[in-house]
């Protein structure tokens, strides 16, 4: 006779129960609880990824923001009223939540850009530069050295949107993709009078973080040194900040206290994040509650099954079966149910993550196809606790015999 | 494996034992492996209690039971289970079969624990005790005599150094008793084991080396 027969005999003796509905109810509660727990962790993590993940392009929000001094009735027309002093810059570095401070510099010299062909235009231009570490994208061509005639520039994504959805339709001009814009060469005449140079500028990237046209810092420094008016003092009126959590109350108070303005979009997303955290936390608590109830009912079901099999269990112990052997048998019967439930919950979560990834892709956002590590960690911890509770309840109930 | 008893007094029998100064209770006794001990006593004097104490089913006694170097009195359940699987076997007075299993399944569920004997050997023993046609009958439907014979075969399936028997032939007629004695003697001798038989009346089922009264 095979081992299966022995297991079948033990099953016949030990696993008699007429309360299958309780078992299904317990497993259903466990499944719903585990699924909700994993989904709430998944949602929380996905939202964090969308807001602060390295793979994002700041479409949804950012810890990066540009601040400036408010223009008020009082300081209108006052020279250097919106310029940051060195003390203010140093103070910003110590402000709550601030992780990094980058000075935005702009051209203090004339730039005149022209474009031929069907899209012909000519305009004065302003260029800005930020330290490279504050860029949301770092194109491979992002470098300029004195002597080079080719100038890489990064344009705000909003510019292209305004062109494609507002300007082009109203003027009967063709709409442009990002790739086609990168093929356009702008002629830039820099300087004035005898002191001029001509550069060919090409768009090498689009920024969601900065709302202007960026040139490499080396170009702005070169131009300001060579083409600005003698005695022109370079000043900083815009600063880029990297904040750990822009929704922090102390951070907001600091900005208000110093009359600094910022991109309110970032703050708004941060508040939404706070709301998502509350909702996911509430769902998580509900999930834990459901899991707790499911586990409790499941353990009660096990204890009831063992109590019903008390006579057989006692006899088995009397004919030489050890408590450990019987515990292992019972655990081997009940644990797969728990693990099956957890695996089913994980499958739902994986499918949910894949669906979320596909959905946000349509909004030009990036989410991984598989759940992130916090979901796996939650799965591991909850499974570990479940396995431990079930194993201990079985061993404890058998030892009582 | 030597059995030694040190001043055993079952708690429920304490007053009676103290009053009558019984033959086995309260005494210190050592029995060597291979000895055949017969415990004779009338009903109600503690034969089953003694067998249960020796098999580790009861803890409500004073004194100490040692199987070899193992203090059975204070042993954990796993140690006791180990001894029951490989050292001590028992034939209960009340058989203690699983009523929801067949005669053969009752045998197999024990046999599979150690695989000391083959299924064929176990079935042959059942045949020798006249249970050829009852192997697939549910234990609950067997007569007491048939149940007792299944219990005897079950007790012989494992490796053992001691066989404890509590009125093992109480439901058997002379012919079946003789068959059972022959089978038990054969297996016990083969294993070089000792035995303790508790019964009501004096008998010569086995060549006892010691006889004790309770």
Q: Do A319 and B154 touch (CB under 8 A)?
A: yes
**Phi-psi region at B75: left, alpha or beta (left = phi > 0; alpha = psi -120 to 50):** beta
pLDDT given at position A115? 86
- Do B106 and B126 form a contact (C-beta atoms < 8 A)? no
The larger pLDDT score, comparing residue B79 to residue B121, is at: B121
Residue A59 has pLDDT above 50, yes or no: no
Residue B152 has pLDDT above 90, yes or no: yes
User: What CATH number is given to the structural domain containing B148?
Assistant: 3.40.50.300
pLDDT given at position A120? 78
> Domain of B9?
3-213
pLDDT given at position A265? 61
Query: Distance, in angstroms, between B21 CA and closest chain A CA?
Result: 31
**Mean pLDDT (chain A, rounded):** 86
pLDDT given at position A263? 65
Strand ranges in chain B using DSSP code E only, listed in sequence order: 3-10, 28-31, 36-40, 61-67, 70-71, 88-91, 162-166, 194-199, 210-213
Query: Which uninterrupted H or E stretch holds A204?
Result: strand A195-207
Compute the distance between CA of residue B17 and CA of residue B8 in angstroms, rounded to an integer: 10
B85 contacts in A (CB within 8 Å)?
320, 322
Mean pLDDT calculated for residue range A153-158: 90
The chain A residue lying nearest B87, using CA atoms, is A320
How many Å is the Cα radius of gyration of chain A? Answer: 33
pLDDT given at position A214? 93
Q: Do B100 and A324 touch (CB under 8 A)?
A: no
- Residue B47, classed as helix, strand or coil, is helix
A9 contacts in B (CB within 8 Å)?
101, 105, 108-109
Pick from A319, A325, A327 the residue to mutate for testing the B interface (most B CBs within 10 Å): A319
Residue A105 has pLDDT above 60, yes or no: yes
pLDDT-derived band at A136 (thresholds 50, 70, 90) equals confident
Residue A156 has pLDDT above 60, yes or no: yes
In the A/B pair of chains, how many CB contacts fall below 8 A? 57
Query: Distance, in angstroms, between B29 CA and closest chain A CA?
Result: 25
**Phi-psi region at B63: left, alpha or beta (left = phi > 0; alpha = psi -120 to 50):** left
Mean pLDDT calculated for residue range A30-39: 92
Compute the distance between CA of residue B48 and CA of residue A90 in angstroms, rounded to an integer: 92
A65 backbone dihedrals φ, ψ, rounded to 5°: -155, 155
Query: Distance, in angstroms, between A9 CA and closest chain B CA?
Result: 7
Of the candidates A5, A312, A322, the beta carbon closest to that of B98 is on A312
The complex scores an ipTM of 0.91
Mean pLDDT calculated for residue range A253-273: 74
A2 touches chain B (CB under 8 A): no
The chain A residue lying nearest B158, using CA atoms, is A320
**What is the number of structural domains in chain B?**
1
B48-106: per-residue pLDDT in tens?
A: 999 999 999 998 999 999 988 888 887 888 888 889 998 999 999 999 999 999 999 99
Q: Do A1 and B57 touch (CB under 8 A)?
A: no
Pick from A309, A320, A400 the residue to mutate for testing the B interface (most B CBs within 10 Å): A320
Q: Do A318 and B112 touch (CB under 8 A)?
A: no
pLDDT-derived band at A377 (thresholds 50, 70, 90) equals very high
Please tell me the pTM assigned to this model: 0.66
Query: Distance, in angstroms, between A299 CA and closest chain B CA?
Result: 23
Q: Do A1 and B108 touch (CB under 8 A)?
A: yes
Query: Distance, in angstroms, between A399 CA and closest chain B CA?
Result: 8
pLDDT given at position A268? 65
Quote the longest CA-to-CA distance of chain A: 109
Give me A167's structure tokens. Answer: 């300007």
A21 touches chain B (CB under 8 A): no
- Do A66 and A104 form a contact (C-beta atoms < 8 A)? yes
Q: Do A13 and B119 touch (CB under 8 A)?
A: no
pLDDT given at position A253? 81
A324-334: per-residue pLDDT in tens?
A: 999 999 999 99
């Amino acid at each position: 006779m095979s081992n299966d027969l022995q297991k079948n005999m033990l099953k016949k003796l030990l696993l008699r129960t007429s309360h299958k509905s309780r078992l299904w109810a317990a497993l259903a509660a466990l499944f719903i609880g585990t699924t909700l727990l994993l989904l709430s962790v998944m949602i929380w993590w996905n939202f964090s990824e969308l807001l602060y993940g390295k793979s994002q392009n700041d479409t949804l929000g950012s810890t990066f923001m540009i601040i400036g001094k408010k223009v008020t009735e009082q300081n209108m027309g006052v020279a250097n009223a919106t310029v940051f002093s060195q003390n203010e810059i140093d103070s910003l570095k110590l402000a709550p939540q601030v992780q990094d401070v980058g000075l935005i510099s702009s051209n203090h010299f004339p730039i005149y850009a022209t474009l031929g062909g069907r899209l012909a235009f000519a305009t004065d231009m302003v260029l800005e530069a930020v330290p490279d570490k504050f860029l949301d994208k770092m194109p491979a061509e992002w470098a300029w050295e004195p002597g080079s005639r080719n100038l890489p520039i990064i344009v705000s994504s909003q510019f292209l949107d305004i062109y494609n959805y507002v300007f082009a339709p109203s003027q009967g001009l063709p709409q442009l993709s990002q790739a086609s814009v990168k093929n356009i060469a702008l002629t830039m005449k820099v300087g004035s009078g005898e002191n001029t140079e001509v550069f060919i500028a090409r768009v090498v990237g689009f920024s969601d973080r900065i709302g202007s046209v960026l040139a490499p810092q080396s170009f702005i420094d070169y131009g300001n040194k060579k083409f600005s008016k003698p005695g022109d003092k370079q000043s900083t009126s815009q600063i880029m900040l990297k904040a750990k959590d822009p929704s922090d109350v102390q951070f907001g108070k600091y900005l208000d206290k110093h009359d600094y303005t910022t991109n309110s979009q970032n703050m708004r997303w941060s508040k939404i994040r706070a709301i998502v955290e509350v909702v996911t936390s509430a769902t998580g608590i509900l999930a834990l509650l459901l899991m707790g109830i499911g586990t409790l009912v499941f353990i009660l079901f096990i204890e009831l099954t063992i109590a019903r099999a008390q006579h057989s269990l006692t006899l088995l112990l009397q004919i030489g079966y050890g408590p450990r052997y019987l515990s292992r048998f019972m655990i081997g019967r009940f644990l797969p149910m728990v693990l099956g439930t957890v695996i089913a919950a994980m499958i739902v979560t994986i499918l949910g993550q894949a669906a979320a990834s596909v959905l946000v892709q349509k909004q030009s956002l990036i989410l991984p196809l598989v759940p992130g590590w916090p979901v796996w960690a939650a799965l591991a911890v909850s499974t570990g606790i479940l396995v431990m509770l079930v194993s201990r309840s079985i061993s404890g109930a058998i030892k009582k015999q | 494996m030597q059995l030694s008893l040190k001043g055993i007094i079952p708690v429920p029998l304490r007053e009676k034992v103290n009053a009558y100064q019984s033959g086995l209770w309260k005494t210190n006794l050592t029995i060597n492996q291979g000895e055949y001990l017969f415990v004779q006593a009338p009903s109600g004097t503690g034969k089953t209690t003694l067998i249960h104490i020796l098999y580790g089913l009861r803890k409500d006694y004073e004194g100490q039971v040692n199987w070899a170097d193992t203090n059975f009195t204070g042993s954990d359940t796993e140690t006791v289970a180990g001894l029951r699987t490989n050292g001590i076997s028992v034939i209960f007075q009340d058989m203690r079969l699983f009523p929801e299993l067949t005669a053969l399944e009752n045998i197999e569920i024990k046999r599979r624990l150690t695989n000391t004997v083959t299924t064929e050997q176990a079935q042959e023993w059942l045949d020798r005790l006249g249970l050829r046609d009852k192997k697939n009958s549910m234990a609950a439907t067997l007569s007491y005599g048939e149940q007792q014979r299944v219990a005897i075969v079950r007790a012989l399936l494992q490796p053992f150094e001691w066989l404890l028997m509590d009125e093992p032939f109480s439901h058997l007629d002379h012919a079946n008793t003789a068959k059972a004695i022959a089978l038990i003697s054969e297996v016990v001798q083969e294993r070089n084991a000792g035995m303790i038989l508790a019964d009501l009346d004096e008998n010569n089922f086995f060549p006892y080396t010691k006889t004790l009264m309770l």
